[in-house]
Structure 1
Amino acid sequence: MADAASRLRSLAEQVLGTPLPVRVRAWDGSEAGPPDAPALVFHNRRALRRLLFKPGELGLARAWVSGDLDIDGDLYTALEAVAGLVWERGDDARTLAQAVRDPAVRAAARDLLKLAGPPLPPAPPREEIRRPRRRLHTRRTDRRAVSHHYDVGNDFYEIVLGPSMVYSCAYWEDGGTLESAQRDKLGLVCAKLGLKEGQRLLDVGCGWGSMAIHAAREHGVRVVGVTLSQEQAAHARKRVADEGLTDRVEIRVQDYRDVVDGPFDAVSSIGMAEHVGAARYLEYASRLYALLKPGGRLLNHQIARRPERDETAYEVDRFIDSYVFPDGELAPLGTTVTQLERAGFEVRDVEALREHYARTLRRWVVNLEADWDRAVRLAGFGRARVWRLYMAASALAFERNRIGVNQVLAVRTPESGASGLPPRPRTWHG
């Protein structure tokens, strides 16, 4: 069909009930839409079939990951432009199955299907995880989910994260580098935990060992770091040996639920609790409470979502669950604090770092794009595209206040009531 772009754009606007805020470039080379706007590039009809079969976030993700759909122009501008059509409407809003009752719109939807052509539907990209939604967050399913996300390859993560190898929100100052911001974040965590020489620290979800190494080297503590990722553990152990810290740092491939050699003076959990799941969160908090000495501190660094008016209607992010963090769940900050308190903790400080995570993610995207060809060789075309979309979209989600990230400092306060915290705890920022 000649001028497929104009036809596609016109029909899509009829179905959606709103003008498209982007240009459209179709498989026949035709274009339609605002000349200064970023373009959605439909390399083939299959891209349209993917969007029609799964309207909303999942269809967009499948078309992007497979390479059937691309963006010509600034990625962030394009994602902001389509946010109102995808993320802010929800996957079920105005789908072809329930669209509108207007016969003209139903006719437009039928014409879109004709324009897409057979066959329908296309198979999902091989990077998509499909599994039954039964018995989430067992030890076996958690190992599988962690392996999917973290065992992509240490060399790939070195491209994205840089030398710090810290896969969580940095703590920025104006003019700082990613490495200095990550070092400052680790220092902030250690200050909040009040680490002193000779103490024992449990680092839950220790990643590539950065927190464990920093705490042992800078504060003289003995650290047990646990992860479910074999690749992370191997990399972390090598870094520990290279730093000459094998007498102070032990890295284990172990579920936190299986740690039995407490008590510890402090526990750090940085970017791990998102994997725990709502049904297991009280168990998680109670287990960490039991592993602490009286007076011991927990620093829980965790992404939070905004609460729903009806929490029973909450659904996990389809793209994130299918391609990035299988079985991951975000909770509102208030829910997290409540569960920590139910486990026995006294919550003493909450610090929001939302803008810091947006800046961190944008820096990671810069790193990935700067070494794109090597990243594709290491992780594969589809997986590299998953990470680029996930990090860019997440940066915008933090900037738009759709999600946040918080450091919660909690204490296993002894019966005497002496928390051990300084009278002005925020002096750790000095």
Structure 2
Amino acid sequence: MRRFFHFLMFLFISTAALVSTVHAQLRVDISGTGAQQYPIAVADFTGDPSGRLIAEVIRADLTRSGQFRLINATGTELNADSTIAFDEWRTRGADYVAYGSVSKTADDRFEVRYRLADTTSQTNLDGAAYTGSDRELRRIAHQIADRIYEQITGVPGVFSTRIAYVFKQGNTYELQIADADGQNPQIALRSRDPIISPSWSPDGSKLAYVSFESGKPVVYVHDLAAGRRVPVANFKGNNSAPAWSPDGQTLAVVLTRDGLSQIYLINANDGSNLRRLTRSPLIDTEPVFAPDGQSIFFTSDRSGNPQIYQIPVTGGEARRVTFNGDYNISPRISPDGKNLLVVTKRGNAFRIASIDLATGAETLLTLGPDDQSPSFAPNGKQVIYASKQGGRNMLAGVSSDGRMRQTLSVLNGEIREPTWGPFGVSQSDPPTQTP
């Protein structure tokens, strides 16, 4: 229990290890590959110099997924109206060819036309046209990569989604939102006091988080587009660990208003309609809703050491979920509700594990020694988490089967508490708030 209490103090207070700079982009180092790799060539988009950037972003996205093997297409000139030499590309090893063109419109915007060809069936699989400003070209490239990914794998891509994380620079804390590849970071909140536990609303329009600006932890809900926020849990004692219900109407929060940390439910808009969910003589914390909204997974030390439990949202008896090892915390459920991520302690290492809820089978996804705060991608195929390596805190990623790993680091910076946004999150720049 002492170790678990120390973990809670770390969660609430020791966010002082967060460092980054808003203008620095994340460097991505990749190791391993997916179980299956699709050979694809991505030609430079023709018609404008920006076409090369678009192709580079698409290639980087597909490579980061671990499920594609890039065939060299350097120097190949293909536009959206080109006739594909299917046999030639098959000889070069490409099962698929992505290509397109970029042109300027009368209002000084860009039109991007994309095509995807299957060299095995010798057919055109997909095509689309996009328009946008020069600042929107990366977003368009991510959207094209999403289409390619889904056309070939049958699973929606997540390259155009966004992530949120917290960092500290000097004595200033910032809540940042970035593209899924770590590029284009924007500041949503800047504060002289710690910010922890960011959590996306289901529609991606809001973030709930905990701020210490009033001298104690208080839960806020932040409207990203409007730049407005409201305190929704500011009760006596500590207010922490917000988690959204799937319909976006309810927040689960952890309060100490009645003694030890317990889980409560409140209305997400204004914090009204407070009702207590758990009633245990020990610590209950880190709630997360199941995808169907009917139950909540949470961490508790009611069995003598921290384990994961599940309780109906209507209350009642909690059911223990984890049994491997004597330390399992930070539950995160997959979008399909079939797998649960936890931080587990094995020996002296903290690692991310995935548990099959139907069978109880466990897969250790990371190596440690200090991995925390896992978060599923909205398609369930990738996981981001915070990792301490070589004495530095950084953002890391792993495929949901553990085969491929990524390290995303910032020069002169350290990142913690990443959370992956849902499908459809706007990539417009959020206004910066300062308490």
Relative to the length of structure 2, the TM-score reads 0.27
Q: Which has the larger radius of gyration?
A: 1
Relative to the length of structure 1, the TM-score reads 0.27
Greater helix fraction, Structure 1 or Structure 2: 1
Greater strand fraction, Structure 1 or Structure 2: 2
